[in-house]
Copies of this chain bind each other. A is one copy, B any other.
Amino acid sequence: MIFDRMVGEEEGLKLLFKEKAVEILMTIYYENLDGKNVYIQYIASRINSPHSYVWLMVKKFEQAGLVETIIEGRTKIIKLTEKGIRVSQRIQEIIEEFIE
């Protein structure tokens, strides 16, 4: 999604980043910026990936200190940690280097 909507020099981003992982992280970042709650199912549909894959990646992000999850009834709300926000901001700056 993030990578697909770019033209021309987006190849530079693909050289450096693992696309799906960054798409998941940045989907959370953009939604959190808008003050919205983020759910695994939402991310899965946004990036066109299986729920199980997104669930696994979110778990890894949690282990890496980038996100935290809050159980709400039968679903999980995913939020970036302070560290997750800082990392996402730096990635956003790198993305802007390639799309400007």
Residues of A within 8 A of B (CB): 9, 11-12, 15-18, 21-22, 25, 57, 60-61, 63-66, 83, 86-87, 90-91, 93-94, 97-98
Residues of B within 8 A of A63 (CB): 11-12
Could you tell me the distance between the alpha carbons of A91 and B64 in the complex, rounded to whole angstroms? 17
Report whether B90 and A9 are in contact in the complex, using a CB–CB cutoff of 8 Å: no
**Nearest Cβ on chain B to A28's Cβ, whole angstroms:** 13
**Nearest Cβ on chain B to A79's Cβ, whole angstroms:** 16
Indicate how many identical chains form the complex. 2
Report whether A90 and B94 are in contact in the complex, using a CB–CB cutoff of 8 Å: yes
Could you tell me the distance between the alpha carbons of A57 and B14 in the complex, rounded to whole angstroms? 12
Report whether B11 and A21 are in contact in the complex, using a CB–CB cutoff of 8 Å: no
Report whether B17 and A64 are in contact in the complex, using a CB–CB cutoff of 8 Å: no
Q: List 8 A-B contacts (CB under 8 A).
A: A11-B63, A11-B64, A12-B61, A16-B91, A83-B97, A90-B90, A90-B93, A91-B94
Report whether A25 and B16 are in contact in the complex, using a CB–CB cutoff of 8 Å: yes
